[in-house]
């Protein structure tokens, strides 16, 4: 490991953080959509 490329490490961390945010955002959106669909179904039944 060379200590010269600290910028590369920072960029890697930023990329990994962005990917993690994308995954979490996608999961959150999926959860909200499923929850909304479930609520609609409950309303239609009742």
pLDDT in tens, 23-39: 999 999 999 999 999 99
29 part of a folded domain: yes
Q: What is the mean pLDDT of the chain?
A: 89
Tell me how many domains the chain contains. Answer: 1
Our CA dihedral for 10, 16, 20, 22, rounded to 10 degrees, sits at 100
The continuous run of DSSP H or E covering 44 comes out as helix 6-45
pLDDT-derived band at 5 (thresholds 50, 70, 90) equals confident
11 part of a folded domain: no
Give the pTM.
0.59
Structure tokens at 20: 């993690």
Query: Which domain covers residue 30, as residue numbers?
Result: 22-46
């Amino acid at each position: 490991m060379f200590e010269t490329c600290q910028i590369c490490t920072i960029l890697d961390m930023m990329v990994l953080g962005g990917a993690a945010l994308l995954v979490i955002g996608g999961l959150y959106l999926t959860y909200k959509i499923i929850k909304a669909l479930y609520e609609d179904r409950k309303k239609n039944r009742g």
